[in-house]
Copies of this chain bind each other. A is one copy, B any other.
Amino acid sequence: MTYCVGLCLDEGLVLLSDTRTNAGVDHISTFSKMCVTEVHDDRVLVILSAGNLAISQAVIAFARSGVEVDGSVQSLGSVPDMFAAAQLLGAAVRKVHGLDGKALGEHNVSFDVSLLLGGQIKGDGTRLFQIYAAGNFIEATADTPFFQIGEHKYGKPILDRVVRHDTDLKAGVKLVLVSMDSTLRSNLTVGLPIDLLVYRRDSLRIDLRRRITEDDPYFRSIAERWSAALRDAYRALPDME
């Protein structure tokens, strides 16, 4: 399983993914689910992926090397804007489906992949997309400024309650870490280390990129303080008569 979350805020993007993959509970590995394309002053494209690892790796390989979209070959390095980047990923998903879908079906493996694409290309805005297994996609807006893929339910309540488009980046980082911490505690197939990336709108370069391991003092302090704060918060609630 996987948990990835992306916030598209007025100040920029906050993206977080875990690194655990499992093919059965006795076959657990660490793979980054965050793929970054950065060309200073031109583009920052970040892809988070969930689902079948063979599919998502193939999708990203094709998106990097080039896929035909609407009659011309495009790649992450060449797409002119974010919408075209989302189309490129959709086309790559469909290409992999064309190549592998039938064989997977014969083995009763569903074509399970979902992607988040966040970033900015010079001349375009800072945007966040979610791409489905059918290759179609949606874009985050001020009304719904976050997307989650993979094991999303445990970490959703805190985001539902708090995230707004005008949440600042520092608060966004805290919120995605709390959301991840809740997921890590409730589902063993989501695991540390986790990859965090912060992109400040219009900077056209990555603001912060950090791999957070089990002994990361900041993440530990967030997790411990959050647990303590929740315990205090429920104790402070009034008792029923």
Contacts and interface: CB of A to CB of B under 8 A. Distances in A.
A231 interface: yes
A174 B241 CA distance: 12
A83 interface: no
A230 interface: yes
A96 interface: no
Contact of A231 (B161, B185, B234): B161
A162 B240 contact: no
Interface in A193-241: 208, 218, 221-222, 225-227, 229-241
Contact of A240 (B156, B158, B218, B225): B218
A233 B175 CA distance: 11
Contacts of A236: 225, 229
A237 B161 contact: no
B230 A233 contact: yes
30 contacts: A153-B154, A154-B154, A154-B157, A155-B157, A156-B186, A157-B182, A158-B230, A161-B185, A161-B227, A161-B231, A170-B239, A170-B240, A171-B234, A171-B235, A174-B234, A174-B239, A178-B237, A208-B240, A218-B241, A221-B238, A222-B237, A222-B238, A225-B236, A225-B238, A226-B234, A226-B237, A229-B233, A229-B236, A230-B230, A230-B233
